[in-house]
Structure 1
Amino acid sequence: MKGNFNTLVNSEQPVLVDFYADWCGPCKMLAPILQDVAKEMAGKARILKIDVDKNQELASRFQVRGVPTMILFRRGEILWRTSGVLDKKAIVDKINNAM
């Protein structure tokens, strides 16, 4: 995963990384919202889900203290980051602003 993660977040296309956990209630609320975002942004941006329990090193590297945490990358740079659940429009607006 590690090499693939670095390749993805360093791409020209914005990548929204969703750090989540299976036991997290708000993460479950965010999942269908992110599926809608992925459909709307198809070809323009990628959504990448990272399970913090299975990828603790990655979560630690980005100082993810709570889930869900979303981090928007482009060319390896963090453009935006937030914790908690946002609506689809707010997430799509952030991705569009990054392009």
Structure 2
Amino acid sequence: MAVSISASATVPSLSRRSSTQLSPYYCSSKLSFSSSLRFQPIRIVNRSVSSRYRPLQVEAKKQTFNSFDDLLANSDKPVLVDFYATWCGPCQFMVPVLNEVSATLKDKIQVVKIDTEKYPSIADKYNIQGLPTFIIFKDGKLLDRFEGALGADQLIQRIETSLSVKQ
């Protein structure tokens, strides 16, 4: 709907001392609307949680180990470790990507997530400076390391390249 407003009013000359102030009457006396305005009530949808801030579901299997080193040494597959923080936007972007990668490479690699806020000693040990940081371990030894968010295809390619080249 287009609304056109035309205002035409005679404003006394500003050069005269008696009319240095404009009254609202002069500014809005002859407003005309070429179409009628229609007002509709705003519908309010009651949602308990906004879809923008809905928590992401992570497909993960919780396991207990005596130490992180124990997990790395006793894994029957290479381990991709995602060092992340809950406040990190790119880290949250990686949640569905890691779910896809984990499902695609389930026979080749194990995906582990380490919250750097909960386990700062592990983050310090591996000199984690930026988030997300990914480290691939094989037989308890560091195989590859990279930082930043990647798409699923890029991450799969990086993992497969690391596993094939550095065996």
TM-score normalised by structure 2 residue count: 0.55
Residue from 46, 49, 70 that aligns with 2:134? 70
Alignment of 1:60 with 2:124, yes or no, is yes
Following superposition of structure 1 onto structure 2, how do residues 1-80 of structure 1 map, counting pairs within 5 Å? 3-10=66-73, 11-80=75-144
| Structure 1 runs, 4 residues or longer, greater than 4 Å off | none
Give 1:4 deviation, angstroms: 4.0
State the distance in 1 between where 2:71 and 2:153 align. Answer: 23
TM-score normalised by structure 1 residue count: 0.89
Q: Is the radius of gyration larger for structure 1 or structure 2?
A: 2
Letter in 2 for 1:25: G
Q: Is the 8 A contact 2:65 2:71 kept in 1?
A: no
Q: Is the 8 A contact 1:15 1:47 kept in 2?
A: yes
Letter in 2 for 1:28: Q
Which segments of 5 or more consecutive residues in structure 2 lack a partner in the other structure? 1-63
Which segments of 5 or more consecutive residues in structure 1 lack a partner in the other structure? none
3-state SS in 1 of match to 2:111? strand
3-state SS in 2 of match to 1:72? strand
Give 1:3 deviation, angstroms: 3.0
More helix by share: 1
Higher relative contact order (CA closer than 8 Å, sequence separation 6+):
1
Letter in 1 for 2:89: G
Q: Is the 8 A contact 1:37 1:88 kept in 2?
A: yes
3-state SS in 2 of match to 1:80? strand
